[in-house]
Structure 1
Amino acid sequence: MDRIRKIFLVSINNIRKWATNPRIYVLFILITMFLWSSIRPILSFSKEMGIRVTPWVFPHLASSFVGQLILMLGVVLLFCDAPFIDEGQPYFLIRSGRYTWGMGQVFYIMMGMTIYLLIVNFISILILMPNIFLSTGWGKILGTLAENHGESVNEIEYISKKILLSYTPLKAFVLSFILEWCAGTALALLMFVINICLNRAAGATIASLIILLDYAIYSNFPSVKFFYFSPVSLSKLILIDSKGISNYPSNEYAYIFFIITIIVLSIISVLSVRRKDIQVQPAV
C-alpha cells in the first residue's frame, strides 16, 4: 500500500505542475482554437435548421485525418518533457526509489491522457452548448451531415456515415475514447523511453513521424494491411472493422495491439529509469 501511495503521489505531483506550466496553457489554447473552427460550423448549421444537435462529435473528429493529427500532436506537446525530471523530482526519486518513481511517471502518462481527452470532450460540448440536447441517438443534424458528406455546410467534412451506421452514439464514444487513449499513451511512453536513451528532440521527432505515418499510409499504400502497424490508424473507428467482413483491422486486433504495446513500453520505461542516469533538465 505504501508503494501504491508513493506512485500516486509522484503522478499527482506532475499533474499539479500543469497549473504553472505555460506549455500546458498554450496546448489547450491551440486545441480550443482547433475545436472551435471544427465544431462551430455544426452549431451554426443547427441554428439555421432550427434543430438542436447531439453532443456525439468526438468519435467523428477523432476518426478524421486532421482531427487525429491535431489531437495526437497535442499529446506530443503535452508529454514532450518526458521523463519529467525537473528541480523538484530528485527529492521524489530519492524518497520513493527508482522503481516506484518510474511507475509513478508511467501512471502520470496514463492519468494525463485521461484528463487531456476529458478536457477535449468538455470543450467540444461547451462549443455546442447554445443549441445542444442529450439523446441516445445521433440526431437529425449529425445524420444529415453524414448523409450529405458535409455538402450542406462546406466546412464540415468529417461526420462519418460509416460510424453512424456501425455504432450507437454511446458505444462509438466509449470505443473512440479508449482507442484514442491507447494511441496517445503508447506515443507518450515511446517518447519517455527515447528521451531517456537519447534526448528530448529525438522522442518528439519520432513520435511526430509515427503520427504522420497514418497519412503516408492512407495516401501512398493501397493495401489496408499497412494500417495494422500504425497506432494512430488503429485508433480511428472509421478504419476499424466492427463486423469482421473486410480486411480492415478488427476491434479485437486493435485492443490486443495496444495492450501489448503499452505493457511492453511501460516495462521498458521503468527498466530505463532503473538503469539510466536521470539528469535534471530545464522545463520545456
Structure 2
Amino acid sequence: MKTIKRSFSVAGYNFRQWHKNPRIFITFALAFILCFLLSDKAVKFAEEYGTTMQLVEAFVWTFGDSNSILLSSLLLVLLFADMPFLSSGTPFYLVRIDRKTWLLGQAVYIAAATAIYLVFILVSTALVCMSNSFIGNLWSETAAILGYSGAGQQVALPALVKTLEMSTPYACMGTIFLLMLLYALLLVFIMLVFNLYKGQAAGVISVFVFSVYGFILNPQTIKAVFQLSDELMYKANVAVGWLSPLNHATYHMHNFGYDLLPRLWQTYALFGGLILLCYFLALHAIRRYNFNFTGTEG
C-alpha cells in the first residue's frame, strides 16, 4: 500500500511540471488542430447532404482509420520528450524510495497522461461537429449514407457496414478509444525502454521505427505496391492484421464472426502482454540506469 501511495506521489509530481510548460501546451494545441483537420471531412459531408451526426461519430469515423491513429500517436513523442522525467525533484524521491517504486510512478504517470491526451482528442472531435449533432445512442442518417452507399470510401472515411450493424455509437467509441489507448501505451513504453537502455535519441528513433513498421504493414499499401489479386489480398489482409500493432489498433481490422482477423479480446491480450513485457524490461534497465541531473535545476 505504501509503495502504491509513493508511486502516485511520483506521478503527481510529474503532472505538476505541466504548469506553464510550453511543450505541453503545444502538444495539445497540435492535437486539436489535427482533430479539426481529420474530422473536417465528416462534418463537410454532413453539411453537403443536409444531415446531422451523432456526437461521437466524428471520432468513430476519424479514428477508425489506421493513418489517423498513427498521426495522433506520434504527438506523444512531444508529450513525453523528457522521458524518463528527470527534474530537480527526482533526487529527493530517489533518496526516499527505491528505483522500482520510482519507475512504477513513471508508469502510472504515462498511463494517466496518455489517457488524458486521448480524452482531449475525443472531446476535440466532438466539439468540431457539436453544432450539427445529437447525443442519442443511435447512428445518424449521415452514418447510414456513408456506410451503405459506399460514399465513405469516396471521401476516405472508414464507415463500414459491420460497424453500423454490430454496435452502437457509444459502444463503438469506447472500443476505438481502448484500442488507441493500448496502442499509444505500447508505443510510449517502447520509447521508455529504449530511453533507459540507450538514451533519449534511441527512444525517439524506436518510436519512428515502430510507426513506420505499422505504416508499411497496411493492406492498402501492400495492395498498391504488389497489385495483388483479391484472393491474395485477403490472405495479406489477414497476415498484416495479426502482424501489425497499428492494424490491431484499427477497429475494422478485427474478426466480428466471419473472417480470420484477430478478435478484440485477442488484441487486448496481445497489447496487454507487450506492455507488461516492456515494463519488466524497463525494470531491468532501471537497475543500472545512470541518473544524470545536469540541467534539471528549476
TM-score of the superposition, structure 1-length normalised?
A: 0.90
For 1:228, which of 242, 257, 271 is the aligned residue?
Answer: 242
Cα separation, partners in 2 of 1:12 and 1:68, compared to 1, 3 Å:
same
2-structure distance, mates of 1:170, 1:111: 22
Q: CA deviation at 1:191?
A: 0.6
Cα separation, partners in 2 of 1:157 and 1:175, compared to 1, 3 Å:
closer
Q: Is the 8 A contact 2:84 2:106 kept in 1?
A: yes
SS at match of 1:18: coil
For 1:259, which of 269, 272, 279 is the aligned residue?
Answer: 272
Q: Is the 8 A contact 1:210 1:232 kept in 2?
A: no
Match of 2:10 in 1: 10
For 1:273, which of 281, 286, 289 is the aligned residue?
Answer: 286
SS at match of 1:20: coil
Q: Is the 8 A contact 1:189 1:266 kept in 2?
A: yes
2-structure distance, mates of 1:281, 1:253: 44
Cα separation, partners in 2 of 1:66 and 1:272, compared to 1, 3 Å:
same
Match of 1:249 in 2: 262
Q: CA deviation at 1:216?
A: 0.7
Q: CA deviation at 1:100?
A: 0.8
1-structure distance, mates of 2:149, 2:171: 23
Instruction: State the AA in 2 paired with 1:6.
Output: R
Q: CA deviation at 1:155?
A: 5.3
For 1:239, which of 243, 246, 253 is the aligned residue?
Answer: 253
Q: CA deviation at 1:252?
A: 2.4
TM-superposition CA deviations, 1:83-129 (whole Å, max 9, x none): 11122222222222211101000111111111111110111111112
Q: Is the 8 A contact 1:53 1:142 kept in 2?
A: yes
Q: Is the 8 A contact 1:183 1:232 kept in 2?
A: yes
1-structure distance, mates of 2:152, 2:174: 28
Superposition RMSD on alpha carbons, in Å? 2.2
Q: CA deviation at 1:162?
A: 3.7
Q: Is the 8 A contact 2:160 2:252 kept in 1?
A: yes
1-structure distance, mates of 2:85, 2:275: 19
Q: Is the 8 A contact 2:39 2:128 kept in 1?
A: yes
Q: CA deviation at 1:65?
A: 3.2
* Higher alpha-carbon deviation: 117-126 or 245-254: 245-254
TM-superposition CA deviations, 1:203-232 (whole Å, max 9, x none): 111112211222211223752223323222
Q: Which runs of 5+ in 2 are unaligned?
A: 224-232
Match of 1:128 in 2: 129
TM-score of the superposition, structure 2-length normalised?
A: 0.86
TM-superposition CA deviations, 1:218-271 (whole Å, max 9, x none): 22375222332322211111111122x212112122111111111111122223
1-structure distance, mates of 2:83, 2:180: 20
* Higher alpha-carbon deviation: 41-50 or 68-77: 41-50
Instruction: State the AA in 2 paired with 1:92.
Output: Y
Q: Is the 8 A contact 1:196 1:278 kept in 2?
A: no
Q: Which runs of 5+ in 1 are unaligned?
A: none
Q: CA deviation at 1:282?
A: 5.2
Match of 1:28 in 2: 28
- Residue 110 of structure 2 corresponds to residue 109 of structure 1: yes
Q: Is the 8 A contact 2:66 2:246 kept in 1?
A: no
TM-superposition CA deviations, 1:175-200 (whole Å, max 9, x none): 11111111111111111110011011
Q: Is the 8 A contact 1:186 1:258 kept in 2?
A: yes
Q: CA deviation at 1:150?
A: 4.0
